[in-house]
Structure 1
């Protein structure tokens, strides 16, 4: 859990919907110090008490608004792993440790 990222999520852009802000806070709860979070979309939807489809829609908009970045990596024999990086509006689209 990164309280720094949770705080930044709470202070994020005012044009977020309540669902988008909640998902950003939940991602902040999962995030390591570099802003990387590894929950599944299903887990995010469950914690936010929304449908999976609503979570996908909100995550897609958060990506467009440069609040999060979706990273997919090949995982040898099991397929593709997806994780999220909280960028929270960084100009260059990278997160790193928030100051």
Structure 2
């Protein structure tokens, strides 16, 4: 499911702000059930509307919590790719 969407710059920025405000790393946020749900909500808000309808927020929060170990590395790589693309574009 996670391959069905792209993390756009707006969602990345929202996630970065959230992590800074909470003084957490992505791993730490994903390892706590409460903050994991909040991270899932940030990502879910960036889904296309059709995907949001297919995968409700509650369903995505459960998926995100249960698959956090698998998803962490995947999300980390996607976010780093966005950073590299932004840096390349800035040059």
Identify whether the pair has TM-score above 0.5, normalized to the shorter chain.
no
Give the TM-score normalised by the residue count of structure 2.
Answer: 0.34
Determine which structure has greater relative contact order: mean sequence separation of CA pairs < 8 Å that are 6+ residues apart, divided by chain length: 2
Structure with the higher fraction of residues in helix conformation: 2
TM-score, normalised to structure 1's length?
A: 0.33
